[in-house]
């Protein structure tokens, strides 16, 4: 456990040394399908929806995980997985120039399947998340439904962080839901300033871990740690 928190602290400190940027939805903001946000360097957000659909105007609502997010927008049509193609409905698309991490502020409904897809429409595992069911509450844990989708039990105004690659494309949405979107924070840098990270001694050589120190599959996407070395799986 001590090593777990040491790793988290090291990553947090290193992240602060890299380039960062924030886009936060404001109360009354109006966006529509196809609108792009490029105010943060090296990343472009595209609001995806069915043709010509206007999102609901920015609604002032506290985000329980990050006070920098104060309002959210949402689409009209439920997000939907499409085999071998871009998802449809209310979807938030990110295109990254540099590797790093993206933290999205979301209003995620209880039992709604949360997805992060890459350019090949493969699932990307969250690096971390804070999805409380109430202000000042502890984060709920993701579990999986019968479809294998990540779900939480109760609605949350929270955040989810995931690793991104240089030249990457990512789709964030909730299947069967018009997921609310507060904005995002982007931290760049393929190097966290940590050249050697000690995985737990109890782990076997060759095991792969994410930045939270959790064991993951060898082909897990994003920034991973193997044999004490950090690299990016694309």
What does the H/E/C string look like for 38-56? CCCCCEEEEEECCCCCECE
Q: pLDDT-based confidence at 106, cuts 50/70/90?
A: very high
Strands 113-117 and 222-226: unpaired
Same domain for 99 and 201, yes or no, is: no
pLDDT of residue 212: 57
Choice between 10 and 100, residue whose per-residue pLDDT is larger: 100
Same domain for 202 and 178, yes or no, is: no
Please name which of 71, 65, 67, 61 lies closest in space to residue 25, comparing C-alpha atoms. Answer: 71
Among 5-9, 37-41, 129-133, 167-171, the least confident range: 5-9
Same domain for 10 and 111, yes or no, is: no
Please name which of 36, 41, 179, 170 lies closest in space to residue 93, comparing C-alpha atoms. Answer: 170
Contact by Cβ (8 Å): 101, 129: no
Q: How many domains, the chain?
A: 2
Work out the burial of residue 186: count CB atoms within 10 Å of its CB; fewer than 13 is exposed, 13-18 middle, 19 or more buried. Answer: buried
Same domain for 208 and 166, yes or no, is: no
Same domain for 157 and 90, yes or no, is: yes
Mean pLDDT of 79-91: 97
Same domain for 141 and 204, yes or no, is: no
Q: Is the pLDDT of residue 6 over 50?
A: no
Averaged pLDDT of the chain:
86
pLDDT of residue 57: 98
Give the chain's length: 234
Same domain for 93 and 181, yes or no, is: yes
pLDDT tens digits, one per residue of 23-71: 999 999 999 999 999 999 999 999 999 999 999 999 999 999 999 999 9
- Domain range for 206: 1-18+194-234
Same domain for 78 and 178, yes or no, is: yes
0.85 exceeded by pTM: no
Residue 173 CA to residue 188 CA, distance in Å, equals 22
pLDDT tens digits, one per residue of 208-226: 776 555 667 777 766 667 6
Same domain for 30 and 61, yes or no, is: yes
pLDDT of residue 221: 66
Same domain for 99 and 38, yes or no, is: yes
Same domain for 23 and 87, yes or no, is: yes
Q: pLDDT-based confidence at 198, cuts 50/70/90?
A: very low
Same domain for 10 and 54, yes or no, is: no
Q: What is the CATH number of the domain that holds 36?
A: 2.60.120
Final residue belonging to a domain, choices 173, 188, 203: 188
């Amino acid at each position: 456990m001590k090593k777990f928190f040491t790793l988290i602290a090291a990553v947090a400190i290193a992240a602060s040394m890299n380039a960062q940027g924030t886009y936060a939805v404001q109360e009354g903001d109006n966006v529509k399908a196809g609108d792009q946000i490029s105010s943060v360097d090296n990343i472009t957000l595209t609001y995806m929806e069915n043709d010509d659909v206007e999102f609901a105007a920015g609604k002032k609502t506290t985000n329980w995980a990050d006070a920098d997010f104060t309002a959210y927008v949402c689409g009209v049509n439920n997000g939907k997985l499409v085999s071998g193609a871009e998802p449809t409905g209310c979807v938030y698309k990110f295109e990254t120039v540099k590797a790093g991490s993206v933290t999205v502020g979301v209003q995620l409904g209880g039992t709604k399947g949360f997805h992060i897809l890459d350019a090949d429409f493969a699932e990307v595992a969250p690096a971390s998340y804070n999805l409380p069911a109430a202000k000042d509450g502890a984060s709920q844990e993701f579990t999986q439904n019968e479809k294998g989708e990540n779900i939480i039990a109760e609605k949350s105004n929270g955040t989810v962080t995931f690793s991104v690659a240089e030249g990457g494309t990512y789709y964030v949405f909730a299947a069967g839901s018009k997921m609310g979107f507060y904005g995002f924070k982007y931290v760049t840098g393929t190097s966290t300033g940590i050249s050697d990270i000690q995985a737990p001694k109890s782990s076997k050589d060759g095991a792969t871990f994410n930045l939270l120190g959790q064991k993951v599959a060898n082909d897990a996407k994003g920034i991973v740690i193997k044999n004490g070395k950090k690299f990016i799986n694309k």
